[in-house]
Amino acid sequence: MSNGNRPVIDGTQIAKAIEVINTAGMMAPRVDLRPELFDTAIQQQGYRMIWEQAMYCSCYASDSEQPAYVCDSCYGKGYKYINPQEIRALATSINGNKDLDRVGLNEMGTAYLTAPSTCNIGYRDRFTIVDFTTRFSEILSSTGRDRLRYPAKEIVAVYQLNQEYRRGVHFNLTEDNMYLEWVTDELEPDSRYSVLYDLTPVYIAMGPIHDLRGTYTLKGMKGMEGFMQLPKQFQIKREDFLADGE
């Protein structure tokens, strides 16, 4: 029975491809390596995530080189994120563990990401790891309709000092999960309050580990050398762990 041109992959080959991904730098020519295995390994072992490409927002002021603090396009971050698409990519902890368990991904600010060779990842690109949930707290200023930094999966608590406010009683979460809309006027305008909520973790690509990463391959008995581009690996950082201006 034919399976077309798709390579037949077993677990050992997947493990080998993952091991190579976790090995830094260029490698000597190897006959036992099939570079097309890498994308299959990533597809099988990777986390589901939304990849968005980053570009500068045009709100940067020409004199200060700073993004506008109030910007309807980037919300003061200085970067726009375009072309969302779902991919699978490997996330590896900084100390070389093959898998980030749920706790590890939750607790760590930094990790490595290996994307399929078909994804041309760039600096500052954004990855939303859709199957995970983390908790986030921030302080908002009351305007009646207050924008959260990230879309909320669930509002856990809202407090102003010791006074608790409840969803459905004092405020509602908008359908896009981005705004708290107040239905009572108990909060003084411009007074500060804090929110605790659940969100999907978002990572930013900070720098390529191996930008021009590849391997020379020997093609069978003829010994012809070829060059295969390997998947790109980036250091990624939790967006909410980034310092201002980083």
Q: Is 201 exposed, middle or buried (0-12, 13-18, 19+ CB in 10 A)?
A: buried
CA distances from 22 to 138, 170, 219, 234 (A): 35, 50, 24, 12
Q: Per rule CB under 5 A, is residue 57 in the interface with Zn ion?
A: yes
Cα 205 to Cα 35: distance, rounded to the nearest angstrom: 24
Span of 53-61, 94-102, 169-177, 213-221 interacting with Zn ion by CB under 5 A: 53-61
Q: Which residue's structure tokens are 């921030």? A: 138
CA 227 to chain centre: 29
Stretch of 66-74, 115-123, 185-193, 218-226 lying at the interface with Zn ion (CB under 5 A): 66-74
Among 23, 66, 73, 229, binds Zn ion (CB under 5 A): 73
Work out which of 33, 41, 42, 59 binds Zn ion, going by CB under 5 A. 59
Residue 196 interacts with Zn ion (CB under 5 A)? Answer: no
Q: How many residues bind Zn ion (CB under 5 A)?
A: 6
Selected from 71, 178, 196, 209, the binder of Zn ion by CB under 5 A is: 71
DSSP 8-class letter at 178: -
Rounded CA separation 229/215 (Å): 7
Cβ of residue 73: shortest distance to Zn ion, in angstroms?
5
Task: Tell whether residue 204 is a contact of Zn ion (CB under 5 A).
Answer: no
Residues that bind Zn ion (CB under 5 A): 57, 59, 67, 71, 73-74
